[in-house]
Amino acid sequence: MSEANKTVVRRYFEDAPCHPAACDEIFAPRFLFHTIQRASLTPQTMESSPTDERAAYERIKVAWDISDRLWMWQQLGVLPDIREAIAKGREATAAQTSGREA
């Protein structure tokens, strides 16, 4: 593989996820993307574009950002640790259940 190809592939994996606008430089205006999607094990070929890829990375970026914020909030003590939250939820449910039985 040529160094130029390696550079493009590296940008696809390292730059595009953080900077979706790089898709305009990485991808041809229209290209075929070979992938396995959904529950099918049969490889599929779909047509894509830099705009489509940029939109996909933007959606993923929003999901990762939400995940990172939750982790940060837990680290800062704004939100409880998930194990702690589950334990408190179980305690509250048990208290409500025992109150109804009494």
Q: Which residue has the higher pLDDT, 1 or 32?
A: 32
Q: How far is CA 35 from CA 59, 82, 83, in A?
A: 19, 35, 37
Non-local (6+) Cβ contacts of 50 within 8 A are 23, 24, 26, 27, 29
CA atoms within 13 A on the CB side of 100: 5
User: Can you read off the two tokens belonging to residue 8?
Assistant: 């493009």
| Distance in angstroms (rounded) separating the CA atoms of residues 49 and 30 | 5
Taking 80 as the threshold, does the pLDDT of residue 62 lie above it?
Answer: no
Report pTM.
0.53
> Are residues 26 and 11 in contact, defined by beta-carbon separation less than 8 angstroms?
yes
| Distance in angstroms (rounded) separating the CA atoms of residues 18 and 5 | 20
User: Confidence class of residue 98 from pLDDT cuts 50, 70 and 90?
Assistant: confident
Mean pLDDT of 89-99: 86
pLDDT in tens, 9-30: 999 888 888 888 999 999 999 9
Percent of the chain with pLDDT over 70: 88
